[in-house]
Amino acid sequence: MPSPADDLDLSLDLIARAHSVPVPDDENALRLMTDEELRPGLEQIIADRQGGDDLWVFAYGSLMWRPEFAYAESRLGTVRGFHRRFCLLQRRFRGTPDRPGFVLALDRGGICRGVAFRLTGTDLHETLMPVWRREMRGMGYVARWLPVATESGTVSALTFLVNRASDRYSGRLSDVEIADKIAAACGHIGPSAEYLFRTVRACAELGIRDRHLWSLQKLVAERLRDCLPDEVVRSRSA
């Protein structure tokens, strides 16, 4: 199977041309939890933590290419019992209520390769709050400490799984159904397809092969090209 790093079908240029009209932010599209609302859950996950002194977070989606936290080390790692899938609807940020996009989550079954980050900082609350706020405020995930197998040994890492009780959980749609939504969706921070593109590129650079992502990037590229005027498509292929 060819690497998507060599597949130019899905590109930032194609995405930008297909989604050239800015989308305003709709704060009512998704309620975000406040830090006060988030704090009890953070305190509980810290209380549930076992193992050594090192603090790890497992990344499998946007955290791989935009971690937004300080870390001292990163390792490729594998989580068993869960797989990476676009199964969490996004009605804000990279989608709208009328045209929701998708973000990745871990769902039951299979395995997932990603990146384990060892965070810096001695205050657990202060260190974890930025990533906790980012992942948990939209109520689409549940957090667990999971064993992550790496070449240097197994570590216990904070991992964000899909919240199956959330109304954002889509269930198991086909790649074609998911691609239709990703291609059409754009929010105030950008298109849903850009999230897919950056995750595909990050996986390719790390040597992570994921059939679900490989399939989607081809399907989404086809749909984005179909949205462009014929003369634009011809100019790109000339």
For residue 27, indicate whether it is catalytic: no
Q: Which position among 68, 135, 194, 222 bears the catalytic label?
A: 135
What's the CA gap between 95 and 185, in Å, rounded?
A: 5
Coil, strand, or helix at residue 198?
helix
Helix extents (H) in 48-187 = 62-65, 124-136, 175-184
Buried b (16+ CB within 10 A) or exposed e, 36-71: eebeeebeebeeeeeeeeebbbbbbbbbbbebebeb
DSSP state of 38: H
What's the CA gap between 101 and 213, in Å, rounded?
A: 15
Query: Is residue 198 within 8 Å of residue 220, measured between CB atoms?
Result: no
The number of C-alpha atoms within 13 Å of 73 and in the hemisphere containing its C-beta is 11
Task: Give bridge partners of residue 189 from the DSSP assignment.
Answer: none
What tokens appear for 19 in the block?
């989604």
Active site residues: 135
